Structures are given as structure tokens and as C-alpha cells.
Chains A and B, each alone.
Chain A
Amino acid sequence: MTETVNSPDLIDGVYREGAPITDTKAPAGDISGKWTTRKFEAALVNPANRRKLSVIIVGTGLAGASAGATLGEAGYQVKSFCYQDSPRRAHSIAAQGGINAAKNYKGDGDSVHRLFYDTVKGGDYRSRETNVYRLAEVSADIIDQCVAQGVPFAREYGGLLDNRSFGGVQVSRTFYARGQTGQQLLIGAYQALERQIAAGTVEMYARHEMLELVVVDGKARGIIARDMVTGEIETHLADAVVLASGGYGNVFFLSTNAMGCNVTASWRAHRKGAYFGNPCYTQIHPTCIPQTGEHQSKLTLMSESLRNDGRIWVPKNSEDCDKNPREIAEEDRDYYLERIYPGFGNLVPRDIASRQAKNMCDEGRGVGPAVDGVRRGVYLDFGDAIERLGEEAVRSKYGNLFDMYAQITGENPYEVPMRIYPAVHYTMGGLWVDYDLQSSIPGLFVTGEANFSDHGANRLGASALMQGLADGYFVLPNTIRDYLAKGPFTKIAEDDPAVAEARESVEGRVARLMSINGTRTVDSYHKALGKIMWEKCGMERTEEGLREAIEEIRALRADFWTNVRVLGSAEGLNQSLEKAGRVADFLELGELMCIDALHRRESCGGHFRAESQTEDGEALRHDDEYAYVAAWEWGGDDGAPVLHKEDLVYDFIELKQRSYK
């Protein structure tokens, strides 16, 4: 993106606006009947024809493994890809809290409609009604499926499943397996996938990375992947492609994501014509263990359940910040959430808790070690809880989390307050999809965190696992068959010009990265990008900051392509090369995130624009101007991105401003 960026016909100097788009797949009628109608209207594929149809699935987390297992079982030929050494390692495994489902097992007034309502409201009215309703509708089936697979959810003494309330929701609809719900659900989906691998319906390609999408005659027909062990560039063709490749939070370098999480599969598809929806929506989680120094490679989440009993505070006076917290008198402590939001106190939503923690540290009242001259931590204090309930009771409730904290920090949280700070956790943005989960490229479907669809501007706790499994087990298998029923598709030759072009672009890119032979490591670029993104496109964004960030990212990207150093060989395992390809894509995505954040001059959910706040400093939405999905089209290497707006129409829910005061 060079000469065109300053041309006068660009909006804000950085983007163009294209034609609006709409979802044409959701059927008409009452919201409660739409999914049933769609399933009925979607064409069927005769079982004998299914084995002639092939599907590629990239990613083996909850969305990818469940889709692979289900499509394999149905009789399609499935090829499944993951970059890890086994599909069991996908990052869904790290989710702690739980999975929501409208089972109403507690008889406390839950229903499909209430889960739907809570999710739309939690997303600050920036998600699509139809998709969210369907998510709530199939949620109950997910629990049945997982239990049948042997997922060991927590049970009551009577043998029935236990539920808890989660993330400030007023009903108990969260199913859980201690603090390891994600692990247990993923292992269930992984086992179902392995069963299909054994049955021969799924072919598994572990330690493989998708590096390009193959588009023939406007349709997604395959991928170019690199075998990360041999370095071989492989062509894989199919009738349809599913991306279940997760989120892109690692654009910030430090995040709660696994080290390997990346945007490459999505970004390569975006460059081939798939629109990218709401890229700037990032969820920041308030309860992570703070950064301790420059050596740090990742941030670790502490379960949000800690906020139920812990009290959050910082010293009133900045002179007290390096004191032993136990020596700071009660009247010298500022329990700022309880002070500002007396109604909700320490249980305010994630975005508010996060932003206020940042405000306290920016004011100079943060605690813990200083990184880059600023202390970025606030206390999460269990002193009162231990006094009230006793140490044993606290241990039985939170013992494993306290042990984890002690392991990482070397401090005993029973004696000194924990320190926490917000961190990047989940990205609500992703490739734009219609009701069928199909992207703007026919034949390319996108599921789970990789799509933009179900969480709006902010994700409700325990909803990510629900969406991953809903998409993979129940939604995609029903919608992709409508597409596959149009097959059989013309066979593509491996030397088709479109295939050859895709392959050559991958080979050229690998060769280019290997030949730059500059002086800077890949990680140093990634860290530099992460700092720009966190400071200027993180918890709080300003017009000025975002404009600076765009310029800085462009300069960094130009430097990367002339000065990065990748050693070793492209033939064989080369982790620097893997990282270099991913960081190159993050450098392009980062700019788009800033452009998206710049154009959205309102605050909503995980997007706080400093220029758009109420007199009390709360996020201020502008529904009259911004109640739309921003779907960005790639504008070419030298062009500006093109914005397509999908208006969000709320027929079944009334838009309201949030208030937690």
C-alpha cells in the first residue's frame, strides 16, 4: 500500500467505501423458525454421492475437530490440517470457565430466547440476530452430544449435571469440568475425529500449515500447505474448504493465545477475496497475571471466577505503590470498582474492569514490577475472603488457581494479594460469513473464532466454546451440504493455472523470506508490532493514536521485508521461517485493524474510542451511524481496503444503551 494511500479520493486517507452487503441465506419468518426452515430448505446429498465429495478443514480446535468428525461420519472425504503435532493440542484446550447452554436444568427461568437476548446484549448490539438465535437454539444439543462422547462434566451427588452462573449472568446455564472445560470438550471432539481417522473418512495432516487458498473460477477449491517437518510445499484440492483456524490475538504479541495461534489461513483467504469482518473488535480479559519483563512470551489468564470473592484495589497515593500491600492502611486503599460502580462492584463486565485497571496504572497508581517505566498491575485481594470464610474454604474454591499463580509469580497469594492486569484474550472479528457460514468466496466456509459472526463487539463468558461446537457439530454440516449438493464439481488439475499461481506465490514467498538475510530477528518485529497495537489499538483508541499506528506499522512492514533474518533451510523443520510468514501477515492485519478502529467513531464492547464517551467516562455507542458490520475487502498490495457495510437489523430485540452504574 504505497502511492494510493494519500490520494484525495480516499476516506480518512486510508480506505474506500464499496457497495453494501447483506446476508441472503437466513430465511424469512419468525426468528424461532428460521433454523428449522433453513435445514429443511438446504438440499440433501444422497449417501452414495457423499463419498465422491471432498472437504478440506483447516484447524482442529472445537470448531474444526467437531466439523471433521461430523462430516467424516456423514460419509464425505475429509482432509484435516493442523500446525501442531496432534489435533489434540489446538488452543480451545486452554479455555477454563465453561460452556453455556439453554437447558434450564435449574428451572431458574432460562430459555433459548434468554440466552439469545443475553448474547446480543453482551455483544453490545453488534452481532447478527439470526446467527445468535441459532447458536442459543442448538446449545442444548451440544451438551447432549458431549455427554454421549464421555466428556466428564461436573455432576451433583444425584448424578445429574451441575451448572454455575458465569460472567455476571443471572441464570445458571454454564456447564463445566472444573477449570478445564475447554480441555475436556476438545478431547471429546479430538476423540471423535480420531475415530473417523481410523475409519478412513478423515485424512489427518498434522504439522502442516496452510499458506494459500486455491480459488478456481471464483470458488474455493483447495489449499497450498507446507509440511513443517520436510518443508515440502503441497497442493491439496477439494470441493469445498472450511477454515476453523481460530483467532488472531497474537497480533499483539503478548496475549493469552497459544504461541502458534496466527492469522495466516484467514489472511491468505482475505487476500484472495474473503471479506474480513470487524477486525478491530478485540476482547481484553481483566484478570491476567501481569507482565514482569521484556523476556515474557505470553500472558496467563486467571479464571474470572476469582472476581466473585477477590476485591480489586490500588493505593490511593502513588507513593505507596512499592510498599508491602499488607502495610497499606485500609483508608489508603482505593477499591475503585466498588467506588465507581457500587451496584456491580468487582463484577462489572470485562471491558469496564479492564479499562479501569488501565486507567489506575496510567494515573501512576499501578503495583508490581515496572515494565518500560510503568507499573502495570492492580491488586486482587483475598484478605477479606480469607478472614470471612477461612483459608481452607478459599483453598477448596480456588486452590488450583492460587497454586498456578504461585508457580508463575513465586508469590504466595494466601499471604499477599494477587496482582492482575488486562490482556488480549479473544478476537470477535474474523472472516465475514453469511447465515450458512459461507464467506464472500463461494465454497469457502469459516467457523468458530475464525469467523466474525456470533459475538458482536464483546463476547459473553462461556460462549466461545459454545460457538465452536455449534458451528462444527450442528450448523456447518447442515449448511455446507446445500453447497455440496450442487456438486459434483469439475475436477481441477494440479497444473491448472490458478493452482500453479497459488503454489508459485507460496514458493516465492518462502524463498523471499529465506533470502533477505537481514539483521533483525522475527520476534523483534513481532514485539514491536505488538507494542504499537497494544498502545494504540488496544483497550482505548484515539483518532490521533490510530493514525500514528498506521504509519508506524507501514514503516515496520517495509523494514521487515528488507531486514528480517531467517536462518537455516526451507527444506525441513524451520521454526523461524514459520514465525516469519505469520508475522508478515500480522503486519498487514494490524494495519487493517487500525483502519477499522479509526473509521468506527463510537465506543462499543471491546472497542473504546476515547472521543466517544459519556460525561461519566462510559462507552457511548452511536446506533444511528454504526449499527453495521464492517466487512473489509482486500484492496491489493498497492491499494486501500474497501469497506462494505452490512446493516444490522434488530427485529426481535430492542437496542438499549448499557449501564452498570
Chain B
Amino acid sequence: MRISLKIWRQDGPTDEGRMVDYQLDDVSEDSSFLEMLDLLNEQLIAREEEPVAFDSDCREGICGMCGVVINGQAHGPERTTTCQLHMRSFDDGDEIIIEPWRADPFPVIKDLCVDRSSFDRIIQAGGFISANTGSAPDAHATPVPKEDADRAFMAAECIGCGACVAACPNAAGMLFMGAKVTHLGELPQGQPEREARVLAMTEQHDLEGFGGCTNLGECTRACPKGIPLNVISQLNADYRHAGYGGRG
């Protein structure tokens, strides 16, 4: 395949950045999107041009490290991670525009790499169950209804890639946060800290500069793991309960 690329190049966080055109021939339709970028980089190095920086690690759709905006869509045209997008999703001769995640709480480090440590700080605020090592009761001491365990698992599938934020016009992190609140809130172990958790995580979310949710649903449409919009309803319900009716 022959592909025309427009790629965002930015030397560092303070650099203004610009779109640069590249031409790539002989792209195999079996290669992944990131392998296409590998090929580009090999050619750039051969021409003594600095390769394009982009993040990736597992390249099998689970670590959440990769992620770019492709032709305006987070992770591109298919509902999957960027590493699991394949060139057969494009046509010979296509032009592809590649940009980093767009959101203030995800500042650009270089080219297509962004800093998503704001997500870690939201987890630090309360996205855990306080269970010290060695103090746990037997795992069978607390039965969990299968439906609850399944819903917790569904929410826990979030890979923290940030596509939901990149896709949201308000750069809301509420699908990410809702997934964690739902995961832990569905389990009996998560109950003691349930109210404190949602209040603290929401406060951190706002402090980081993420916007509010207006129920457009772009986040869930971009989510490679199919986290449903109802985790945001869960987040809002827990927040209301904690804020008005609960201990908070």
C-alpha cells in the first residue's frame, strides 16, 4: 500500500508543534498501525531525520500505553487500541492524519507522546481498597453474587489509555473514573471506602483540569474495551449519595 501521512511533530512540551507530511510506500496491509510507524521511522533514520516519538509497549491491546488520534478519531476508525488497528482498515492511497491525545490534563511530551500521570493521581486519591498485605480473610469468607462480580470485572477492564478523554469535547475523565468507582463499588470489599472514594477521586479529577460530562457518549464510542456509559451514571449516583445522603 501507498500511504500519505500528516504527523504532529513537537520537539518538547514548550515547542509550538507543526504538522509534517510524509510519504510511505510498500506498507503491508497485515502490519499494525504502529508497525507502519516503525517502518516510517526506519526510513527517517536512513535519511538522517529524527524518528517520530510515540508510546507503545505490549502491542496486544492490554497495557494501554499506546494511543493517538487518527483522522480525528481516538485510536482510529476501528473500536480497538492503536496497536491492534491494522493497515487493512485503510485503502491504498489514503491520507492519514496522526495527532497526540488532545486534552489539557495530558500535556504533550514530544511528538505523539503525552503525559497521562493525572490518571495515576486520580487513582492515588482513592481508587483502591485499603487492604494491608497479610491481613486478608480467606477468599471464600465473603461470597459475591456472580452478577456483581461480572459487572465489577466489566468495569475493571479499563486499560487507562485515555481515549475517553481525547474523544470528549470537554476532556472529561469521567468514563475512566466511573469505571474504577463501579469496579470497586460493586464488591463488598469496596463498601467501607465507597463514599470517601468517589468524593476524593472527583475532587482530584477536577483539580487536574478534566472537564465535566455532558452525556455525549463520545467516550464510550472511543473506548477500546467497551466500557459502557452507565459507569458514569453510577459515578454520579455514588457522588450524589456521598455528597447529600451519606457520610460525606
List residues of chain A with CB under 8 Å of any chain B CB. Answer: 66, 69-70, 73, 84-91, 93-94, 103, 105, 141, 143-150, 152-161, 177-178, 180, 183-184, 187, 190-192, 194-195, 197-198, 204, 206, 229, 256, 258-260, 292-293, 295-298, 300-301, 404, 407-410, 473-474, 477, 521, 523-524, 565, 567-568, 572-573, 575-576
How far, in whole Å, are A456 and B148 apart by their CA atoms in the complex?
39
Contact status of A89 and B63, CB under 8 A, knowing A195-B124, A195-B130: yes
Instruction: Chain B residues near A573: list those with CB within 8 A.
Output: 12, 53, 109-110, 113
Q: List 27 A-B contacts (CB under 8 A).
A: A89-B57, A144-B136, A145-B133, A147-B139, A148-B135, A148-B137, A148-B189, A152-B186, A155-B145, A159-B149, A192-B133, A194-B124, A194-B128, A229-B115, A259-B57, A292-B30, A293-B28, A295-B27, A295-B31, A296-B31, A297-B32, A298-B60, A408-B32, A473-B133, A473-B134, A523-B38, A573-B53
- A86 contacts across to B, CB distance below 8 A: 116-117, 119-120, 160
Q: Which of B39-47, B213-221, B232-240 lies at the interface?
A: B39-47
**Other CB < 8 Å A-B pairs besides A150-B129, A152-B187, 6 of them?**
A141-B136, A143-B139, A229-B109, A296-B35, A297-B59, A565-B45
* Given the contacts A91-B58, A105-B140, A180-B157, A567 and B45 also touching, CB distance less than 8 Å: yes
Interface presence of B245 (CB below 8 A): no
Given the known A-B contacts A155-B144, A155-B149, A293-B30, are A150 and B184 also in contact in the complex, defined by CB atoms under 8 Å? yes
* A73 proximity list for chain B (CB < 8 A): 132-133
Most buried by B among A148, A260, A473: A148
Instruction: State the Cβ distance, B102 to closest chain A Cβ, in Å.
Output: 17
Does the CB pair A297–B28 fall under 8 Å? no
Is B205 part of the binding interface, using a Cβ–Cβ cutoff of 8 Å? Answer: no
Q: Tell whether, in the assembled complex, residue A93 and residue B56 are in contact, meaning their CB atoms are under 8 Å apart.
A: no
In the bound complex, do residue A152 and residue B152 qualify as a contact, i.e. CB atoms below 8 Å apart? yes
> In chain B, what residue has the closest Cβ to A566?
B45
Give the distance to chain B from A183, nearest Cβ to Cβ, in Å: 6
Query: For residues 81 through 116 of chain B, which have their beta carbon under 8 Å from a beta carbon of chain A?
Result: 84, 86, 88, 109-110, 113, 115-116
Given A180-B62, A296-B35, answer yes or no on A88-B134 (Cβ-Cβ < 8 Å): no
B183 touches A69 (CB 8 A): no
Contacts A152-B187, A293-B28, A477-B133 given; indicate if A191 touches B128 (C-beta within 8 A): yes
| Chain B residues, CB < 8 A from A198 | 124-125
* A331 to B189 CA separation, bound complex (whole angstroms): 57
Whole-angstrom distance between the alpha carbons of A190 and B134 in the complex?
17
Residues of chain A lying within 8 A (CB to CB) of residue B134: 141, 145, 473-474
Q: Is B57 within 8 A of A144, CB to CB?
A: no
Separation of A131 and B121 alpha carbons in the complex (Å): 37
Chain B contacts with A in 134-162, Cβ cutoff 8 A: 134-140, 142-146, 149-150, 152-153, 156-157, 159-160
Chain A residues with CB under 8 Å of B143's CB are 155, 158-160
Please, which residue of chain A has its CB at the minimum distance from the CB of B65? A89
Q: In the assembled complex, which residues on chain A have CB atoms less than 8 Å from the CB atom of B175?
A: none
Asked if B69 is an interface residue, CB under 8 A from chain A, the answer is no
B166 contacts partner chain A, Cβ-Cβ < 8 Å: no
Total number of A-B contacts with CB less than 8 angstroms? 222
- A576 lies within 8 A of B51 (CB): yes
- C-alpha gap A103/B140 in the complex (Å): 10
- Please give the distance in Å from B135's CB to the nearest CB on chain A: 8
Kindly state whether residue B16 has any CB partner on chain A within 8 Å: no
A209 to chain B minimum Cβ distance, whole angstroms, is 13
Q: Considering the complex of A and B, which 4 residue pairs feature the smallest CB-CB distances, nearest first?
A: A159-B143, A191-B128, A148-B136, A148-B131
**B149 touching A88, Cβ below 8 Å:** no
A149 in contact with B131 given A259-B56, A293-B28 (CB within 8 Å)? yes
A206 to B124, CA, bound (A): 15
Q: A159-B146, A184-B153 are in contact. Are A144 and B139 (CB under 8 A)?
A: yes
Q: Quick check: B123 and A147 within 8 Å, CB to CB?
A: no
Alpha-carbon separation in the docked complex, A347 to B48 (Å): 50
Q: List A contacts of B48 (CB < 8 A).
A: 565, 567
A186 to chain B: closest CB distance in Å? 9
Q: How distant is the Cα of A249 from the Cα of B98 in the complex, in angstroms?
A: 31
Consensus secondary structure, chain B interface: loop
The residue in B46, B86, B136 that gathers the most chain A C-beta atoms within 10 A of its C-beta is: B136
Residues B187 and A410 in contact, CB atoms below 8 Å apart: no
Residue from A408, A477, A524, A576 within 8 A of B84 (CB atoms): A408
Closest residue on chain A to residue B11 by CB atoms: A572
B154 to A: closest C-beta gap in Å: 9
| Chain A, residue nearest B137 (CB) | A144
Q: How far is the CB of B212 from chain A (nearest CB, A)?
A: 24
Q: Once the chains are docked, how many angstroms separate the CA of A69 from the CA of B35?
A: 36
Contacts of B145 in A (CB 8 A): 155, 159
Q: Closest residue of chain A to B48, judged by CB? A: A567
Closest to A257 in B: B58
Q: Which residues of B contact A159 (CB under 8 A)?
A: 143-146, 149
Contact of A298 among B49, B59, B113 (CB under 8 A): B59
Q: Is the CB of B124 within 8 A of A85?
A: no
The CA of A477 and the CA of B31, in the complex, are separated in Å by 44
In the complex, which of the residues B45, B57, B60 contacts A300, with contact meaning CB atoms closer than 8 Å? B60
Chain B residues with Cβ below 8 Å from A408 are 32, 84, 86
Q: Closest residue to B113 on the A side, CB-wise? A: A573
* Distance of A227 from chain B, by nearest CB (Å): 11
Is B190 engaged at the interface, CB distance under 8 Å to the other chain? yes
C-alpha gap A260/B63 in the complex (Å): 12
Given A73-B132, A93-B63, A155-B144, are A293 and B31 neighbors across the interface (CB < 8 Å)? yes
How far in angstroms is the closest Cβ of chain A from B77? 13
Complex CA distance for A655 and B54, rounded to whole angstroms = 50
B63 — which chain A residues lie within 8 A by C-beta? Answer: 84, 89-91, 93-94, 258
Residues of B contacting A94 in the complex (Cβ-Cβ under 8 angstroms): 58, 60, 62-63
User: Closest CB-CB distance, B78 to chain A, in whole Å?
Assistant: 8
A198: nearest chain-B partner, CB-CB: B124
* Complex: A576 Cα to B110 Cα, angstroms: 14
- A contact residues around B132 at 8 Å (CB): 73
Residue in A closest to B52 when the chains form the complex, CB atoms: A575
Residues of B within 8 A of A66 (CB): 133
The docked-state distance in angstroms from the alpha carbon of A107 to that of B202 is: 45
Query: What are the residues of chain A within 8 A of B189 when measuring CB–CB?
Result: 147-150
CB nearest to B130 among chain A residues:
A195
* CB-nearest residue of chain A to B38: A297
On whether the beta carbons of B125 and A576 are closer than 8 Å, the reply is no
**Cβ–Cβ < 8 Å partners of B4 in chain A:** none
When A91-B58, A159-B144, A573-B109 are in contact, do A148 and B149 touch as well, CB less than 8 Å?
no
Complex Cα–Cα for A206 and B50 (A)? 24
Report the bound CA distance from A183 to B60 in whole Å: 12
- Measured in the bound complex, the distance between the Cα atoms of B17 and A33 in whole Å is 63
A407 and B86 contacting across the interface, CB-CB below 8 Å: yes
Q: Which residues on B sit within 8 Å (CB–CB) of A300?
A: 59-60
Cβ of B45 and Cβ of A147 under 8 Å apart? no
A178 CA to B150 CA, complexed, in Å: 10
CB contacts (< 8 Å) of A197 on chain B: these are 120, 124
Indicate if the CB atoms of B149 and A521 lie closer than 8 Å.
no
CB pair B120–A575 under 8 Å, yes or no, is: no
Q: How far apart sit A523 and B41, CA to CA, in the bound complex (Å)?
A: 10
The smallest C-beta distance from B84 to any residue of chain A, in angstroms, reads 6
Question: Is B211 in contact with chain A by the CB < 8 A criterion?
Answer: no
